């Protein structure tokens, strides 16, 4: 019952607006801040004192400060009024990483200052919008589990210029992102007889004896392979690479990973996908009854990670 009442309320006051949207009277709200309440209480006390003592200078100062507060309220409201949100797009991330959501704005006709954008209060973005620009504002939302992810409502708030009032709007960005499994180092799960030779898998884990060189660190690389000496010399993070036993195509198989924890097994596959792509090794993947043919390149990597993210989803 409470959920129905809340949805009805948001429909009445315009709280269910989604991108694309233009901020206006039905979706912008404004209230005094803590300082604003103190300001109003002070004005009330000054007005009562002026009436009590019939002090014309007190009336003048009270009305002067009152007009200043009214001007600040209208200016704060105007920072959001007419703001045009055109579209929103989410970038895929790994579980546990904040998802970046890009909000595209139409041309800004007048300067707008101190606008705060956030979905999570811990990840706020504050920007000043100059006239004549079409901007993209990036906000972040926390993720925890793989799969499709809806970030929730976007809050746009401003207290400019004096901090006496806060105007805000709550907008549904109308976007769904994709969260990949968190990479987890593990044994290389190769399919049986992937070469067609009848001799079983010929590819084992990456070699550990034949040192090849250093490569740029990628998320998911095991810490024991980081070349700490290079990092201490200010050369950045690099990982040590070793020659593989046989330079053939990999066929990663979910069923070849031991254990009953499906999420952990998917994380191991995600790690191996990143590793194979990083070393430019052609690879394919077997997920139950689904088989992704061997390939390489960024598009192939994205396809495999997408399949892992949506594994088990309808």
- 10 neighbors 169 (Cβ within 8 angstroms): no
DSSP 30-93: EEE-HHHHHHHHHHHHHHHHHHHHT-HHHHHHHHHHHHHHHHHHHHHHHHHTT-EEEEEEE--E
Mean pLDDT value of segment 78-93: 92
Q: Which of 46-50, 168-172, 267-271, 294-298 has the lowest mean pLDDT?
A: 294-298
Residue 2, pLDDT > 60, answer: no
Work out the percent of the chain whose per-residue pLDDT is above 70.
83
Give the span between the Cα atoms of 170 and 52, in whole angstroms: 44
Average pLDDT, the chain: 83
pLDDT > 60? residue 203: no
Q: Which two tokens stand for residue 90?
A: 């989410």
State the pLDDT at residue 152: 87
Q: Phi then psi for 34, rounded to 5 degrees?
A: -60, -45
Write down the domain spans for the chain.
1-179, 250-310
pLDDT tens string 17-27: 788 899 998 89
Place of tokens 């952990």: 264
Top-confidence residue, 139 or 15 = 139
pLDDT at 195 over 50: no
Please indicate whether residue 233 or residue 172 has the higher confidence score (pLDDT): 172
Confidence at residue 3, expressed as pLDDT on a 0 to 100 scale: 52
Residue among 201, 192, 196, 186 at smallest CA distance from 255: 192
**Residue 208: pLDDT over 60:** no
Q: What is the mean pLDDT of residues 1-12?
A: 50
119 to 41, 92, 143: CA distances (angstroms): 32, 17, 12
Six token digits for residue 87:
């579209």
């Amino acid at each position: 019952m409470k959920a129905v009442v809340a949805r009805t309320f948001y429909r009445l006051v315009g709280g269910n607006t989604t991108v694309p949207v233009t901020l206006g009277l039905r979706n912008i709200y404004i209230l005094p801040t803590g300082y604003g309440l103190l300001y109003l209480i002070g004005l009330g006390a000054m007005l009562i004192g002026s009436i009590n003592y019939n002090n014309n200078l007190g009336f003048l100062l009270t009305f002067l400060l009152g007009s200043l507060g009214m001007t600040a309220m209208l200016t704060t409201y105007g920072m959001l009024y007419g703001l045009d949100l055109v579209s929103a797009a989410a970038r895929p991330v790994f579980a546990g990483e904040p998802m970046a959501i890009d909000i595209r704005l139409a041309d800004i006709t007048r300067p707008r200052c101190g606008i705060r954008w956030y979905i999570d209060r811990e990840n706020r973005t504050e920007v000043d919008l100059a006239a004549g620009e079409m901007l993209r504002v990036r906000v972040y939302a926390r993720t925890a589990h793989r799969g499709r992810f809806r970030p929730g409502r976007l809050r746009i708030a401003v207290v400019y210029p004096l901090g006496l009032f806060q105007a805000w709007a709550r907008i549904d960005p109308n976007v769904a992102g994709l969260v990949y499994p968190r990479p987890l180092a593990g044994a290389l799960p190769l399919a049986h007889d992937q070469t067609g030779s009848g001799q079983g898998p010929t590819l084992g884990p990456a070699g550990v004896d034949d040192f090849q060189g250093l490569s740029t660190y990628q998320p998911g690389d095991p810490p024991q392979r980081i070349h700490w000496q290079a990092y201490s010399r200010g050369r950045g993070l690099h990982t040590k690479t070793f020659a593989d036993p046989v330079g053939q195509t990999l066929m990663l198989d979910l069923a070849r990973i031991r254990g009953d924890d499906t999420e952990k097994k998917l994380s191991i596959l995600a790690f191996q996908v990143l590793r194979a792509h990083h070393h430019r090794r052609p690879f394919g993947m077997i997920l139950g009854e689904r088989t992704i043919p061997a390939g390489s390149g960024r598009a192939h990597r994205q396809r495999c990670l997408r399949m892992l993210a949506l594994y088990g989803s309808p």
